């Protein structure tokens, strides 16, 4: 933050006395804390503007402080709400003099409001806690009765998380393609750029249809709004695609975006999400969900994304999920599929009479995609209410999307500890980090934190895609479904660490809410070493009886011959 003429006070919270210490301690002039709120040595102050709330968290044991600046006037209230557990706050006026301070305990007095009593200008707020390794989430707002509530499940990326740019893409060499069924994509974002991918994919990607058309877009526009305005007519000319269930054929309109890793884009319709209204422009993401899912499916949260991992955006509405899966099943050039549509995976099974229309039976469509050799990663859901509010568990067995035995169910893990967050639907095969950075739908370079199993599911799929691409770069002829067990078996459940805000579950409960364990860079490295070394997947004998039981339940509910599932 800005240089201070007066040493700030480090306020620490002691477990037995909820008061500021009488002896000041030094407080550094800038913050190396948590995520987007206060990056290391920022070039300018982090401002919270009047009328909006700002989110943050403290969870890094090396830095337990966050500092914010406010353009505040006399009479403005500055409200802070904690999501737990506790912190002390100090307000500094434009001359850096301590104006007010207090401590807040989330389960006793979660909201603290400071009233700016003197001249306007740039005020500062210091937030500090000595409760590490526990973490708390907070929100700050100016001119609000109380800042927005932040449940613990919405903690931001700790320790200044940064998105890593992928390696350079090339038309030569092997590629891995992930299909994302979602709300569209922001094709202008820098993360998807690939200047070397300009030729028709049919000339360098085996099996890709020659009928696909280029979607020539203004990738050199100075900003997102200008780009969309220049390309409005191009998007308006994109027709929707239609699936004909009676003949298993398509009226398809497939596009690719030269100069990007978006090797395919097709629209079967669109609608809103549970948190945003729907869009009207085919392929273009007007919600934000699809862009972030696509980026994570390309390895945006991995330490070394590979530019030859490519994405197909299959835009869907809530009524065309099955259509999209059937289309994907017909594409031999696609290696894996991701469905991360928030509440979709939570939908309970309410069978009445069997329905013969494939479009009303997504399990039939996912089976077709699975039989075509593609692993399918589906979000396990964000609790029964789709809010991630614990304790809000539900089961994946009753979900038409996550229930079938051929689906890889993905739960959510805390970004700092790897612990399961305890609110996704269970059982699952694996968990992956949520609350991670991913590109936004309305900018060329910005990222924001993406939450829930909507984020963890493509995160797991992205690590799988990197594993498959590594095997292909090594010259291995490995089928996608044959590579999946290497990643599953290499995933380790979180270790028990007493004192954490959310301790991980222990066996045998861990098989329910962690499955094989956490998919992350460490699991990817272990899987790569085993697969490239020519050996079988790592043995996981403790999982064998549980997997057998789980599969028998899923087959009874969704397998061939069951009341709910389609034909084999």
Distance from C-alpha of 47 to C-alpha of 272, rounded to nearest angstrom = 31
* Ranges of CATH 3.40.50.200 domains, the chain: 176-558
| Predicted local confidence at residue 287, as pLDDT | 87
Which class is 35-154 in CATH? mainly beta
DSSP string, 471-540: HHHTT----HHHHHHHHHHH-BPPPP-TTSSSPPP-TTTHHHHTTT-EESHHHHHHHHHHHHTTPPPPP-
To which CATH superfamily is domain 176-558 assigned? Peptidase S8/S53 domain (3.40.50.200)
| Predicted local confidence at residue 49, as pLDDT | 44
Sheet holding 77-82, edge to edge: 53-58, 136-142, 77-82, 111-115
DSSP string, 226-295: HHHHHTHHHHHTPPPPEEETTTTEEE---EE-TTBSEEEEEES-----SSS----SSSB-SSSHHHHHHH
* pLDDT tens-place values along the chain, 568 residues long: 222 221 222 222 222 222 222 222 222 222 222 222 333 333 333 344 444 444 444 333 333 445 666 667 777 777 777 655 566 777 777 777 778 777 766 556 667 777 777 766 777 777 665 444 344 556 666 665 444 444 333 333 332 344 567 899 999 999 999 999 999 999 999 999 999 999 999 999 999 999 999 999 999 999 999 999 999 999 999 999 999 988 889 999 999 999 999 999 999 999 754 444 567 899 999 988 999 999 999 999 998 999 999 999 999 988 888 899 999 999 999 999 999 874 444 444 443 333 333 444 667 789 899 999 999 999 998 777 666 655 667 888 888 888 899 999 999 887 656 666 656 888 999 999 887 778 989 999 887 777 788 999 999 999 999 999 999 999 999 999 999 999 999 999 876 655 444 455 666 677 888 899 999 999 999 999 999 999 999 999 999 999 999 999 999 888 776 766 555 4
| Predicted local confidence at residue 350, as pLDDT | 40
Token pair listed for 329 = 């099943």
| Predicted local confidence at residue 21, as pLDDT | 25
| Predicted local confidence at residue 496, as pLDDT | 62
What 8-state DSSP symbol labels residue 221?
-
* Ranges of CATH 2.60.120.380 domains, the chain: 35-154
Distance from C-alpha of 271 to C-alpha of 273, rounded to nearest angstrom = 7
Residue of 164, 96, 104 whose CA lies nearest to 138: 104
Residue of 494, 499, 483 whose CA lies nearest to 408: 483
Distance from C-alpha of 127 to C-alpha of 456, rounded to nearest angstrom = 29
Rounded to the nearest 10 degrees, the angle between the axes of helix 480-490 and helix 453-473 is: 120
* Sole residue written with tokens 């209204």: 277
* Sole residue written with tokens 């955006």: 313
Strand pairing of 121-128 and 65-72?
Answer: antiparallel
The values of phi and psi at residue 340, to 5°, are -135, 45
DSSP string, 323-357: HHHHHHHT-TT--EEEE--GGGGGPPP---S----
């Amino acid at each position: 933050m800005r240089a201070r003429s007066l040493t700030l006070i480090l306020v620490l919270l002691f477990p037995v006395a909820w008061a500021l210490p009488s002896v000041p301690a030094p407080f550094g002039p800038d913050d190396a804390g948590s995520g987007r709120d206060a990056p290391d040595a920022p070039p300018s102050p982090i401002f919270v503007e009047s009328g909006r709330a700002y989110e943050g968290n403290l969870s890094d044991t090396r830095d337990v402080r966050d500092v914010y600046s406010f353009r505040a006037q006399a009479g403005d209230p500055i409200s802070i709400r904690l999501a737990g557990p506790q912190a002390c706050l100090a307000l500094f006026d434009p001359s850096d003099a301590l104006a007010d301070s207090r401590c807040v305990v989330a389960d006793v007095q979660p909201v603290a409001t400071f009233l700016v009593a003197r001249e306007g200008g740039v005020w500062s707020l210091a937030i500090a806690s000595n409760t590490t390794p526990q973490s708390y989430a907070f929100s700050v707002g100016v001119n609000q009765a109380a800042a927005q509530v932040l449940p613990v499940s919405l903690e931001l990326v700790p320790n200044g998380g940064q998105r890593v740019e992928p390696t350079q893409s090339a038309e030569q060499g092997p590629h891995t393609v992930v299909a994302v069924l979602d709300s569209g994509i922001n094709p202008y974002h820098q993360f998807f750029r690939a200047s070397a991918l300009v030729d028709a994919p049919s000339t360098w990607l085996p099996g890709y249809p020659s009928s696909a058309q280029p979607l020539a877009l203004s990738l050199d526009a100075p900003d997102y709004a200008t780009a969309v305005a220049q390309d409005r007519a191009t998007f308006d000319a994109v027709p929707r695609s239609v699936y004909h269930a009676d003949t298993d054929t398509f009226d398809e309109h497939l596009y690719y975006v030269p100069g990007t890793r978006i090797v395919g884009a097709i629209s079967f319709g669109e609608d809103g999400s549970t948190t945003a209204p729907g869009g009207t422009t085919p392929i273009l993401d007007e919600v934000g969900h699809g862009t972030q899912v696509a980026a994570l499916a390309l390895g945006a949260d991995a330490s070394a994304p590979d530019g030859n991992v490519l994405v197909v955006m299959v835009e869907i509405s809530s009524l065309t999920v099955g259509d999209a899966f059937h289309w994907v099943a017909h594409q031999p050039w696609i290696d894996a599929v991701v469905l991360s549509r928030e509440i979709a995976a939570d939908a309970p099974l309410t069978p009445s009479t069997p329905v013969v229309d494939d479009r009303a039976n997504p399990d039939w469509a996912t089976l077709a995609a699975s039989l075509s050799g593609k692993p399918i990663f589906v979000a396990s859901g964000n609790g029964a209410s789709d809010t991630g509010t614990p304790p809000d568990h539900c089961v994946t067995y009753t979900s038409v999307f996550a229930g079938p035995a051929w689906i890889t169910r993905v739960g959510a893990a805390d970004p700092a500890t790897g612990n399961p967050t305890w609110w996704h639907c269970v059982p699952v095969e694996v968990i992956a980090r949520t609350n991670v950075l991913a590109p936004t739908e309305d900018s060329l370079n910005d990222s924001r934190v993406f939450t829930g199993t909507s984020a963890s599911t493509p995160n797991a799929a992205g690590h799988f895609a990197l594993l498959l691409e590594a095997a292909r770069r090594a010259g291995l002829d490995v089928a996608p479904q044959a590579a999946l067990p290497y990643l599953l078996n290499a995933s380790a459940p979180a270790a028990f660490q007493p004192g954490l805000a959310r301790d991980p579950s222990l066996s045998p409960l861990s098989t329910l809410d962690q499955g094989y364990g956490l998919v992350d860079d460490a699991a990817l490295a272990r899987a790569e070493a085993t697969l490239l070394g020519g050996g079988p997947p790592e043995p996981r004998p403790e999982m064998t009886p549980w997997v057998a039981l789980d599969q028998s339940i899923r087959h009874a509910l969704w397998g061939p011959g069951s009341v709910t599932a389609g034909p084999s």
